[in-house]
């Protein structure tokens, strides 16, 4: 071993011991007779001292940033202690110094606040990871994974590895394909999720399955998506919905407790319909209230055409914002009119301290009218009502964004506060407005709520799914459903989706076959592990929770992949580039 | 929850309780007034009893094998107890029975000893996994994985996920390629191992890395290989060889202790040269001795041309086998002459009880000659010497097989005995006899032994690698090396391998770049996880330790993958089938 201790280990109790440390040179300060070197490894930084030792001093003068050294000496008490680092009580007075490896000058500083831009950091990711903020995120990820495994294993879940080389499905437009050399002209696909395999494991009697597993999706990448991502994939047999919610609420509580020291309270259940009604989103940020209030009955038919012709008039109450200036209100109006939000305008009502109201629509509404709005919205003197109108879907969407923006401005979205909930009772089917066909909102094996099972035949569009999402601070961290295990219900589902029995067989043959041999009632959930880690880390981007991420073009700029293949390789795989 | 207890949980302490069980029907025994049902889940089997209950009896008569049921009743003491199962003290007298799902008659019996052949079991893998022997292997695998993570995490290793979509390397003839839709004409490769990434993580200062990770190799599959397999991949910084051996010897001891309750003793170190000399293999089965003895000096130049012209004359001593019959010896001779073994013949010497010798070469050798052989081989009265001759490589190889065969016949290869060792000091380079070029025996980043570092320039063929394999019971379970971290040594290695600096740059560019920025001394090891699990499970085949394995053509016969891709899919990927 090239060390006796790590660079984060020595304390005043070690004073007098002879030690050897190895690590990277952070800084060298040369004061002539005295030279100090800060040496760094994953575990910390220790100060080395060279005093009255010309040979060692000479070697030290060769050192540059990020040189790798091995240093032997005696632990001594520091004259000037540094209370900011755990090793700040001591320094090591060197008797020997060896350069294990030189380093070119790194392209950016290996410090918490670096001067390296995103592109440079990604190209030299192996240097970026030396920085504390990145390394700590990878360590956090490992810790979260370990605690997930502890909890689920203790609950008798078995971690089973499912295949990575699987079958492409006809609807798998976003599948990565892998040509098979041994089966020319044929292709594997990489899994978008292990969904079918986990259901097969339930048919196989594994009872409780989980896996922390890479999944793949070949899609145009939004800013914070990756072509390969990691899921916590889980499934249980012989359960009903609330068994699953309790189990995985328990998992997340365990993680918050063990990883962050935070005790979460019970997760409320929120109907999908209510989530949309009060927050305009199926993943509401519930760290703050500011629920939508519908003003149709008090705001319509008073002569203001914009409202009169609207499907819905929605308000939120920004508490304490009555003192917003004209400029601030104009700026907010511009904000909601941006194409990303798409509102046509913004109506406001200031609830003045003296009990009067000042609004942007004073010529249409009396003080009594505005008081009725304020009463309905629970607004008090000093508050500001913000009102949007239009068709239901767009208005909800725009108001959702406005609510989040106001929450942000009012400091109501603290990253160290965690508000959790289950959104339940999603619609089972979505109608494709263009084709008029129904799609499964989750997937075609999601069951209807028991009380809605008749509707699958009589009124499919009204049937609610026995599906659930876990939402924390406005982020959908996981979702799942109770699956269909009954043949009749499965046929009804395929009917509703417009599949002929032959089409269903072609797409889902082996799973349907398996279901003929005694499928138990079962259900499950999958969590986005990268996203969950980011939530724990208190940041928005998943990028730094992945050791070697890809950019928005799906490229790894460090290793320069993907890249052209050799003719010989393609020939072996029985494929060629499209001419 | 569709149950209050699992089918493996009830004991006499539960007598009198009302319980609900769910599971699969194993058997139904209908004695008219009394019906017994054995219901099974992952956790065990419980006997259900229907007595004086016409309604429930009627339902029970609908049941077939593998029906899924939910049964409620009272736990009662059995009149005829079954000491062979943990629930054998009790049965559940039913008050209610629900069929949760019907089942077709399964294509083979869901019992420990099944009537299903390999092909049928693979096609219906979800039924095969319901069988105890398969399910227990998957559970064992999960347990081994958990203990690996416990040990390594406690030793401050960080589990880091490395990418699955990486860059194809020019020598990656066995790479699976993945066309990139977003980068037309370009391909990712699936990793054969995370070797370069783990070395980058050492440059990145992660200090101790591990990962239990899927790897991929598109090669013609031998009986017991899989195109996707799992490695325990590990790397450490600032270490020397013996630090790594101690750490991972500790890991394997921990696994044997926690998973099998076996205390292993210290692993001996065996030189590669000695392994070849005494066992003819770099992965010797050391559960038994029977080492090779070279007889050249006592067997040559006595007029037996076969031996005189041979490069080597090797013997093993099969203790207690002097009573082998003519027939047995002929059969053994035929065995070594099979093409798989390739020996030209087999010479034997029986060490008779009376002190005389009987050999197949009596006309060339006197009793004194044969006594000299026996003395040299340590053979006593009652033993049998088996002798092969020829060129060194082939004779060692054939003798290795013969030794293993004799060990098997003599019952010396007990699956519950574990003999472990480290094979060390492998040759650094192998010469390709056809081209005369050297290849790296491990990979081009493996360092030479410190004492052989000069030889890399002066006599490359004599340089030994700082590489090591862990061998248990004749199985190479893991291997690794101390890597090169010094630029000069790396250049010398590339020189020895016949790479120009440009070629080295083209193949290993980003890793060589990284090494310019302060690479620490480092080394690591990788274990074959599937194989390790099979060893723990006491069987030879890895197949049943993989939930959904592929056959020797790389096909998953259950899901029927790989399969043809749609024209539209290929077009999107900018490839077409080779005309």
B535 or A510, greater pLDDT: B535
Interface check for B536 against chain A (CB to CB < 8 A): the answer is no
| CB–CB contact A41 B205 (8 Å) | yes
| Residue B221 pLDDT grade (very low, low, confident, very high; cuts 50, 70, 90) | confident
Interface test with A, best of B41, B204, B511, B566 (most A CBs within 10 A): B204
Percent of chain A with pLDDT over 90: 83
Count how many residues are written for chain B: 579
Q: How far apart are CA A212 and CA A149, in angstroms?
A: 9
In the three-class reduction of DSSP (H, G, I as helix; E, B as strand; rest coil), residue A466 is classed as coil
pLDDT in tens, A19-57: 999 999 999 999 988 999 999 999 999 999 999 999 999
Contact A204 B22 (CB under 8 A): no
HEC letters along A205-247? CCCEEEEEEEEECCCCCCCCCCCEEEEEEEEEECCCHHHHHHH
- Yes or no: say if B231 and B212 are a contact pair by the CB < 8 Å rule: yes
Q: Do B464 and B309 contact (CB within 8 A), yes or no?
A: no
pLDDT band at B468 (very low <50, low <70, confident <90, very high): very high
Taking CB atoms and an 8 Å limit, are B206 and A24 in contact across chains? no
Residue B172 has pLDDT above 90, yes or no: no
Per-residue confidence (pLDDT) for residue B171, from 0 to 100: 59
| The residue to which tokens 């040559």 are assigned | B300
The pLDDT value given to residue A171: 59
Q: How far is B130 from chain A (nearest CA, A)?
A: 5
Residue B397 pLDDT greater than 90, yes or no: yes
Return the pLDDT at A185: 92
Interface check A186 vs B, CB under 8 A: yes
Ordered by where they begin, the domains of chain B are 12-101 (2.40.50.140), 134-270+419-546 (3.30.930.10), 288-409 (3.30.1360.30)
ipTM: 0.94
Radius of gyration, alpha carbons of chain A: 30
pLDDT of residue B253: 98
Mean pLDDT (chain A) is: 94
Token pair for B269:
């170190």
Tokens of A53: 């030792």
Q: Which residues contact B340 (CB under 8 A, 6 or more apart)?
A: B401
Residue A120 sits at the chain B interface (C-beta within 8 Å)? no
Q: How many residues does chain A have?
A: 579
Report, in angstroms and rounded to the nearest whole number, the Rg of chain B calculated over CA atoms: 30
pLDDT band at A293 (very low <50, low <70, confident <90, very high): very high
Q: Where are the beta strands (DSSP E) in B31-186?
A: 34-41, 44-51, 68-77, 90-101, 158-159, 177-179
pLDDT at site B10 = 98
Give the span between the Cα atoms of B251 and B268, in whole angstroms: 16
- pLDDT attached to residue B330: 96
State whether residue A260 is helix, strand or coil. Answer: helix
Q: Do A562 and B187 touch (CB under 8 A)?
A: yes
**Contact between B159 and A145 using a beta-carbon 8 Å cutoff:** yes
User: CA-to-CA distance for B359 and B329, rounded, in angstroms?
Assistant: 11
CA distances from B330 to A12, B346, B397, B433 (A): 76, 9, 20, 35
**Using CA atoms, how far apart are residues A426 and A446, in angstroms rounded to an integer?**
11
Residue A7 confidence (pLDDT) above 80: yes
**Tens digit of pLDDT for each residue in B43-64?**
999 999 999 999 999 999 999 9
Angle at A517 between CA A511 and CA A518, to 5 degrees: 105
Cβ-Cβ contacts under 8 Å, A206 against chain B? 42, 129, 135, 138
Strand pairing class (A347-351; A357-359): antiparallel
Ramachandran class of B164: left when φ > 0, alpha when ψ lies in -120 to 50, beta otherwise: alpha
* Backbone φ, ψ for residue B299 (5° rounding): -110, -15
Q: pLDDT by residue (tens digit) across B498-507?
A: 888 888 887 7
d(CA A160, CA A539): 31
* Residue B371: closest CA among B460, B299, B272: B299
Q: Is B190 on the interface with A (CB under 8 A)?
A: yes
Q: Do B514 and A126 make contact, defined as CB atoms within 8 angstroms?
A: yes
Task: Starting at the earlier edge strand, list the strands of the sheet with B384-390.
Answer: B293-294, B312-318, B384-390, B347-351, B357-359
Query: Using a CB cutoff of 8 Å and minimum separation of 24, what contacts does B569-574 make?
Result: B569/A168, B569/A172, B569/A173, B569/A175, B569/A177, B570/A177, B570/A578, B571/A578, B572/A173, B572/B181, B573/A177, B573/B179, B573/B180, B573/B181, B573/B184, B574/A577, B574/A578, B574/B179, B574/B181, B574/B184, B574/B185
Under DSSP, the state recorded for A544 is G
Q: What is the pLDDT of residue B124?
A: 96
* pLDDT tens per residue, range B469-495: 999 999 999 999 999 998 888 888 888
Q: What is the structure's pLDDT at B489?
A: 87
Residues of B in contact with A579 (CB under 8 A): 576
Q: Residues of B numbered 9-48 whose beta carbons fall under 8 angstroms of chain A's beta carbons: which are they?
A: 22, 24, 40-43
**CB within 8 Å of chain A, chain B residues 352-411:** none
Nearest residue of B to residue A564, measured between CA atoms: B186
Cis-peptide into B575, omega within 30 deg? no
pLDDT digits (tens, 9 = 90+) for A433-471: 788 788 888 888 999 999 998 998 888 889 999 999 999
> Under 8 Å CB-to-CB from A550, ≥6 apart: which residues?
A221, A226, A227, A228, A556, B163, B165
| A469-A473-A477 Cα angle (round to 5) | 35
Task: Express as a percent the part of chain A with pLDDT over 70.
Answer: 99
Q: Which among B472, B414, B536 is positioned nearest to B283, based on CA atoms?
A: B472
pLDDT value of position B288: 97
Q: CA separation (Å) from B233 to A41, B174, B180, B397, B545?
A: 22, 20, 27, 30, 19
- Give the burial class of A542: count Cβ atoms within 10 A of its Cβ; 0-12 exposed, 13-18 middle, 19 or more buried: buried
Up-side HSE of residue A449: CA atoms within 13 Å toward CB? 17
pLDDT at B170 over 70: no
Q: B90 CA to chain A: closest CA distance, Å?
A: 23
pLDDT at B255 over 70: yes
Residue A497 touches chain B, beta carbons under 8 Å: no
pLDDT reading at A170 higher than 70:
no
User: Is A442 labelled as part of a ligand binding site?
Assistant: yes
Cα four-point dihedral sign B387, B393, B396, B400: negative
Cβ–Cβ under 8 Å, residues B314 and B324: no
What pLDDT is recorded for position B353? 94
If you average pLDDT over each of A94-98, A550-554, B114-118, B560-564, which comes out highest?
A: A94-98
Q: State the pLDDT confidence band at B569, using cuts at 50, 70 and 90.
A: confident
In this prediction, residues A383-389 reach a mean pLDDT of 98
Which B residues, 282 through 311, put their C-beta within 8 Å of a C-beta on chain A? Answer: none
Longest Cα–Cα distance of chain B, Å, equals: 92
Burial class, B327, CB count within 10 angstroms (exposed 0-12 / middle 13-18 / buried 19+): exposed
Cβ contact B532:B97 at 8 Å: no
The stretch A87-93 carries a mean pLDDT of 97
Put simply, whether B577 touches A (Cβ < 8 Å) is yes
A551 in Cβ contact with A510 (< 8 Å): no
Beta bridge partners of B179: B187
Extract the runs of DSSP E, i.e. beta strands, from B67-176.
Answer: 68-77, 90-101, 158-159
**pLDDT score, position B506:** 78
B220, pLDDT greater than 80: no
Token pair 């490069």: residue: B311
- Which residue is it, tokens 């003192």? A323
DSSP character string of B418-481: --EEEEE--BSEEE-TTT--EEESS-TTBPBPGGGTTHHHH-GGGPBBSEEEEEETTEEEEEEE
Residue A514 to residue B126, Cβ atoms within 8 A: yes
Tell whether the model's pLDDT for residue B381 goes beyond 70: yes
Binding residues of B for ATP are: 217-219, 226, 476, 528-531
Inter-chain residue contact A569 with B206, CB threshold 8 Å: no
> Which chain A positions have a beta carbon within 8 Å of B239's beta carbon?
1-2
Q: Do B556 and A207 touch (CB under 8 A)?
A: no
**Minimal Cα distance from A128: which residue of B?**
B204
- Pick from B157, B242, B205: nearest CA to B519: B205
Known binding residues of B are: 171, 217-219, 226, 442, 476, 483, 528-531
Is the model's pLDDT at A168 over the cut of 90? no
Confidence of residue B442 (pLDDT cuts 50, 70, 90): confident
Q: Do B520 and A548 touch (CB under 8 A)?
A: no
C-alpha distance from A292 to closest chain B C-alpha (Å): 36
Tell me the pLDDT tens digit for each residue of A497-526: 888 888 888 778 888 899 999 999 999 999
């Amino acid at each position: 071993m090239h060390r006796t201790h790590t660079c984060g280990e020595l304390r005043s109790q070690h004073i007098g011991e002879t030690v050897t440390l190895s690590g990277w040179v952070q800084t060298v300060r040369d004061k002539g007779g005295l030279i100090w070197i800060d040496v760094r490894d994953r575990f910390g930084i220790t100060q080395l001292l060279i005093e009255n030792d010309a040979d060692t001093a000479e070697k030290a003068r060769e050192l540059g940033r990020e040189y790798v050294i091995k240093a032997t000496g005696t632990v001594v008490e520091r004259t000037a202690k540094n209370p900011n680092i755990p090793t700040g009580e001591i320094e090591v007075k060197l008797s020997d110094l060896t350069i294990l490896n030189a380093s070119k000058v790194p392209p950016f500083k290996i410090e918490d606040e670096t001067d390296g831009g995103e592109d440079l950091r990604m190209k030299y990711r192996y240097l970026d990871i030396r920085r504390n903020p990145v390394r700590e995120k990878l360590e956090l990820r490992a810790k979260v994974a370990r605690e997930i495994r502890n909890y689920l294993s203790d609950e008798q879940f078995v971690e089973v590895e499912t295949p990575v080389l699987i079958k492409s499905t006809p609807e798998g437009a976003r599948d990565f394909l892998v040509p098979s050399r041994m089966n020319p002209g044929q292709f594997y696909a990489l899994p978008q999720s292990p969904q079918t395999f986990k259901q097969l494991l339930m048919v196989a009697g594994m009872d409780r399955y989980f896996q922390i597993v890479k999944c793949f999706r070949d899609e145009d990448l939004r800013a914070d998506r990756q072509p390969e991502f990691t899921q916590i994939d889980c499934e249980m047999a012989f359960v009903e919905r609330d068994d699953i919610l309790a189990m995985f609420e328990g998992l997340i509580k365990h993680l918050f407790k063990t990883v962050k020291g935070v005790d979460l309270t019970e997760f409320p259940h929120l109907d999908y319909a209510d989530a949309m009604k009060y927050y305009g989103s199926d993943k509401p940020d519930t760290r703050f209230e500011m629920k939508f209030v519908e003003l149709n009955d008090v705001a319509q038919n008073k002569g203001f055409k914009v409202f009169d012709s609207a499907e819905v008039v929605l308000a939120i109450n920004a508490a304490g914002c009555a003192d917003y200036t004209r400029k601030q209100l104009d700026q907010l109006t511009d904000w909601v009119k941006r194409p990303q939000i798409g509102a046509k305008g913004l109506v406001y009502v200031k609830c003045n301290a003296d009990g009067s109201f000042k609004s942007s629509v004073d010529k249409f509404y009396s003080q009594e009218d505005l008081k009725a709005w304020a009463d309905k919205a629970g607004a008090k003197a000093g508050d500001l009502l913000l009102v949007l109108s239009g068709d239901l879907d767009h208005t909800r969407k725009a108001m959702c964004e406005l609510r989040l923006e106001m929450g942000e401005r009012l400091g109501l979205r603290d990253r160290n506060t965690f508000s959790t909930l289950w959104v339940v009772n999603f619609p089972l089917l979505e109608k494709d407005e263009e084709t008029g066909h129904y799609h499964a909102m989750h997937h075609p094996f999601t069951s209807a709520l028991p009380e809605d099972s008749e509707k699958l035949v009589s009124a499919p569009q009204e049937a609610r799914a026995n599906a659930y999402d876990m939402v924390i601070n406005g982020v959908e961290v996981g979702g799942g459903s109770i699956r269909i295990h009954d043949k009749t219900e499965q046929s009804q589902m395929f009917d509703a989706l417009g599949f002929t029995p032959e089409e269903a067989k072609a797409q889902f043959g082996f799973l349907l076959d398996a279901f003929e041999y005694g499928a138990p009632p079962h259900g499950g959930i999958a969590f986005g592990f990268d996203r969950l880690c980011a939530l724990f880390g208190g940041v928005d981007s998943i990028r730094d929770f992945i050791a070697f991420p890809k950019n928005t073009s799906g490229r790894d700029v460090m290793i320069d992949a993907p890249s052209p293949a050799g003719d010989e390789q393609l020939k072996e795989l029985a494929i060629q580039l499209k001419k």
